[in-house]
């Protein structure tokens, strides 16, 4: 199996956590895609994933699977014990509901905020985003507000239960964790008073599948190109 992705980016981190949690690291070949150079918007990559985003999974028979949720479902079910996406109908339903909330309330709007209200990934990619780029800063700000509301929602939820879908770590937690990674680089911080969300983040950071395994560091060449 191959994963097209880029170390240090949030949606790729979702799949890197899943691979670690499922003990699948050794079965995967990583193919780096140059996001800052807009490689993912060129015909060669678009022919594999018309959405023009990473991660993308390519199976040995050539099947291409994009969307982190779909990739997670596939990897989690390979061993017949889908602990991250749900073993029973009820677990599946609750996990998918919470994962979609994590995506809709934090991970998706933080991506829009990053690309439209901050310099994003720089000039090469700008051309592929929106012709009226500058005018969309306002839209980006609205997305930032959505993220802040989402953080409040999850702080309240996590004051009542240890993980997003209840007692156990799941795909929903991975999605929110990656959203917070993206929030960090976008300049949106979790307010200090959101102690439940902060404690949850600490707890998730310490899990073996997450600790040092997310590729959370951008590659040195990417940091340089982004001006850090
Ligand atoms: N819905 C997709 C989102 C993937 C996504 O937005 N990936 C980012 C990297 S973290 C990307 O490829 N961004 C490039 C761009 O927006 O041009 C998923 O769940 O995998």
Tell me, what CATH number does 43's domain have?
3.40.30.10
Residues whose CB falls within 8 Å of the CB of residue 214, separated by 6 or more in sequence, listed in order: 13, 16, 17, 181
Which pair of tokens denotes residue 55? 């991660």
Choosing from 5, 8, 11 the residue with most ligand 1 atoms within 8 A of its CB, the one to mutate for a pocket test is: 11
pLDDT at 122: 79
Domain that includes residue 26, residue range = 2-81+214-225
Q: How far apart are the first and last CA of the chain?
A: 33
Cβ 183 vs Cβ 201: under 8 Å = no
Q: Do 75 and 120 sit in the same domain of this protein?
A: no
Q: Do 61 and 93 sit in the same domain of this protein?
A: no
Ligand 1 geometric centre to CA of 81 (Å): 27
pLDDT at 215: 59
Which residue positions in the chain have pLDDT lower than 50? Answer: 131
pLDDT at 132: 58
Choosing from 54, 128, 186 the residue with most ligand 1 atoms within 8 A of its CB, the one to mutate for a pocket test is: 54
* Coil, helix or strand at residue 31: strand
Ligand 1 geometric centre to CA of 53 (Å): 4
CA–CA distance, 87 with 143 (Å, rounded to integer): 34
Give, using CA atoms, the residue closest to atom 11 of ligand 1: 53
Ligand 1 geometric centre to CA of 11 (Å): 6
pLDDT at 125: 78
CA–CA distance, 111 with 100 (Å, rounded to integer): 15
Q: Do 97 and 63 sit in the same domain of this protein?
A: no
Q: Across the chain, which distance is largest between two alpha carbons, in Å?
A: 50
pLDDT at 65: 98
CA–CA distance, 4 with 29 (Å, rounded to integer): 9
Q: Which of 186, 36, 227, 34 is nearest to 44 (CA)?
A: 34
Neighbours of 84 (CB within 10 A): 26
pLDDT at 120: 81
CA–CA distance, 20 with 16 (Å, rounded to integer): 6
Give, using CA atoms, the residue closest to atom 1 of ligand 1: 67
Cβ 111 vs Cβ 182: under 8 Å = yes
Neighbours of 17 (CB within 10 A): 27
Q: Do 76 and 6 sit in the same domain of this protein?
A: yes
Q: Is 216 in the pocket of ligand 1 (CB under 6 A)?
A: no
CA–CA distance, 165 with 176 (Å, rounded to integer): 12
Which pair of tokens denotes residue 213? 């395994």
Which atom number of ligand 1 is nearest to the Cα of residue 182? 10
pLDDT at 124: 78
Q: Do 189 and 219 sit in the same domain of this protein?
A: no
Q: Do 33 and 76 sit in the same domain of this protein?
A: yes
Q: Do 189 and 135 sit in the same domain of this protein?
A: yes
Tell me the pLDDT tens digit for each residue of 128-178: 765 455 556 666 778 889 999 999 999 999 999 999 999 999 999 999 999
pLDDT at 216: 59
Q: Do 109 and 187 sit in the same domain of this protein?
A: yes
pLDDT at 115: 83
* Coil, helix or strand at residue 91: helix
Which atom number of ligand 1 is nearest to the Cα of residue 12? 10
Q: Do 124 and 70 sit in the same domain of this protein?
A: no
Q: Is 10 in the pocket of ligand 1 (CB under 6 A)?
A: yes
Give, using CA atoms, the residue closest to atom 17 of ligand 1: 53
Q: Do 183 and 152 sit in the same domain of this protein?
A: yes
Q: For tokens 């060129």, name the residue.
A: 42
CATH code, domain with 162: 1.20.1050.10
Which atom number of ligand 1 is nearest to the Cα of residue 125? 17
Cβ 26 vs Cβ 53: under 8 Å = no
Q: Do 74 and 102 sit in the same domain of this protein?
A: no
CA 195, chain centre distance (Å): 22
Find residue 66's DSSP bridge partners: 56
Q: How many domains does the chain have?
A: 2
Tell me the pLDDT tens digit for each residue of 31-47: 999 999 999 999 999 99
């Amino acid at each position: 199996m191959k994963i097209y992705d880029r170390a240090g980016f949030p949606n790729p981190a979702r799949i890197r956590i899943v691979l670690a949690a499922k003990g699948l690291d050794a079965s995967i070949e990583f193919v780096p895609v140059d996001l800052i150079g807009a490689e993912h918007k060129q015909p060669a990559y678009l022919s594999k994933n018309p959405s023009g985003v990473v991660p993308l999974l390519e199976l040995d028979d050539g099947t291409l699977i994009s969307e982190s949720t779909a990739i997670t479902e596939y990897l989690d079910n390979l061993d017949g014990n889908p602990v991250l996406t749900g073993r029973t109908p009820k677990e599946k339903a609750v996990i998918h509901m919470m994962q979609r909330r994590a995506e809709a309330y934090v991970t998706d709007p933080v991506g829009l905020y990053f690309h439209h209200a901050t310099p994003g990934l720089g000039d090469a990619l700008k051309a592929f985003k929106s012709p009226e780029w500058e005018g969309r800063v306002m839209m980006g700000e609205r997305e930032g507000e959505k993220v802040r509301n989402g953080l409040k929602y999850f702080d309240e939820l996590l004051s009542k239960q240890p993980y997003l879908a209840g007692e156990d770590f799941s795909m929903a937690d991975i999605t929110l964790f990656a959203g917070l990674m993206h929030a960090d680089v976008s300049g949106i911080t979790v307010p200090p008073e959101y102690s439940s969300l902060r404690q949850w983040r600490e707890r998730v950071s310490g899990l073996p599948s997450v600790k040092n395994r997310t590729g959370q560091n951008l590659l040195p060449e990417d940091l340089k190109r982004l001006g850090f």
